[in-house]
Amino acid sequence: MRKKSPKNQSLNQSLNQSLEEPNSNPLDEIHALMEQAAALPLGNAQMELLERAVALSDVLGDVQAGFATRDALVYSASMSGNPQKTLVAFAWQLAQWDKLGQDGLGVSEFHLLWSYKWVINGLFSIPSVAMAQVEAVLNDFRERLERAGHSLGIYHQYRLRWAMHRGEPLEAAAIHLEFKQFDSSGILNCVACHLQQEVSFQRFMGQFEAVLQAAKPLLRVHAPRCNRVPNATHAVLLLPLLHLNQLEAAAKHHRNYQHFQHDEDALPLIGLHLEFLGYLGDVPAGLKLLERHLAWAYRSQDIDTQYDFLRCTLPLLHRLRHSKDLSEYLSESVGELNALPLERIIPHWQIEESEPGVLDGVLDALERRIRSDLHYIAVQFDTRHGNTFYQDGIEPDLALLERPAQVLPAVAEKVKAKSNTAKGRWVKNKG
């Protein structure tokens, strides 16, 4: 028989003690755990408290408490980039809903369907979930929407994301026609996310002028907002603006990085800012982002997020290795790279013997390791999708890298706006 881990043994002991104490009310302890978790930022510490609350609910056999605690865990795990925990918790919720319904659980179907969106988004990021399973979940989501009388706009939005995630432009273009037939008025729709989907689609299709047009409704003074918009809008605009040589506008959008630079779950957005700096050739600024956030990528539980960020490091590393315009600060930049505690950031890190003629052993080893990790992740997704989209996406755009290196133009200081990624709350949308 498989032995329980020390962590599980400790958890079981604490739960049993809670039930055995004469003056202890387990429901009060569940509420206390939930309150402690709510006071923490998104992340592992919060999820551990919520998992304790879930386990205590199960020991009590209290289905309503089990649903409520898992509800909090689904939100925390999905927003923290842990799709596996999200899936396990929501699968239990869905089974209980189908068994007991709204009357038995005291939870509206609208609430369940709202969480369902996050779960679908997370499924895309787990390559071990087969294509057929993802399609079945999407079909189930549609059927539930139809039975409840909701608009199918949100269904088409997630089908569009699924096509984009797999790198299927023809399929995405066809679904986009369906998506455009629905506005953002559906009760399950986030208006800001609906508009942002159009921005992301146009970028995915490489229509850079159309990206700028699609973003306009989200950049107005009284534009719709949510936990991820307009932060995602600013990030997605950077590369199109660079392609169109609108550097002053790009510099303004890059300033938005300061609003979520401490939010670990915003790593894909941070990656887009890093990618922009690499293509631009602003190596000192890019190295600062790499130093701050590389560790986040390597401890992420979402390998899709890890892929996104690591891929965005390659333009910077290319600039550092190849650009002749770096002579003035090349030695300083390499020194900063050498100073990174890579042995603590990257699992099983080691510097192999450097090849002759390379700029620096650390740079050479770091790029080799990043490319190896990217290929490992890409093969998993491409195997599921039956194409080479992820593998093809590893290589940087050499046409952009052939441009002369530049530094961001100065932007006048503005009063800092409050971040709309409250406690790091952000929902991933690839593209």
Average pLDDT, the chain: 85
The residue count for the chain: 431
Which pLDDT band holds residue 183 (cuts at 50, 70, 90)? confident
Share of the chain above pLDDT 90, in %: 67
239-255: pLDDT as tens digits? 999 999 999 999 999 99
* Rounded Cα–Cα distance for residues 334 and 313 (Å): 15
**pLDDT at position 6, please?**
42
pLDDT in tens, 5-45: 444 444 444 444 444 455 568 889 999 999 999 999 988 99
Phi, psi of 302 (to 5 degrees): -110, 105
Q: What is the pLDDT of residues 93-111, one digit of tens each?
A: 999 999 999 889 988 899 8
pLDDT higher than 50, residue 168: yes
CA distances from 208 to 214, 239, 333 (A): 10, 9, 32
Q: Is the C-alpha dihedral spanning 381, 383, 387, 393 positive or negative?
A: positive
At 358, the pLDDT band (50, 70, 90 cuts) reads very low
Sequence spans of domains, the chain: 256-431
Q: Please give the share of the chain, as a percent, with pLDDT higher than 70.
A: 82
Q: What is the pLDDT of residue 272?
A: 98
User: Given pLDDT bands bounded at 50, 70 and 90, which one contains residue 414?
Assistant: low
- If pLDDT is split at 50, 70 and 90, which confidence band does 336 have? low
Provide the pLDDT for residue 318: 93
Please say whether the beta carbons of 158 and 190 come within 8 A.
no
Per-residue pLDDT of 153-164, as tens digits, reads 999 999 999 999
**Average of per-residue pLDDT across 191-208:** 96
pTM of the full structure:
0.85
**Quick one: pLDDT at residue 4?**
42
CB-based contacts of 216-221 (< 8 A; 24+ apart in sequence)? 218/192
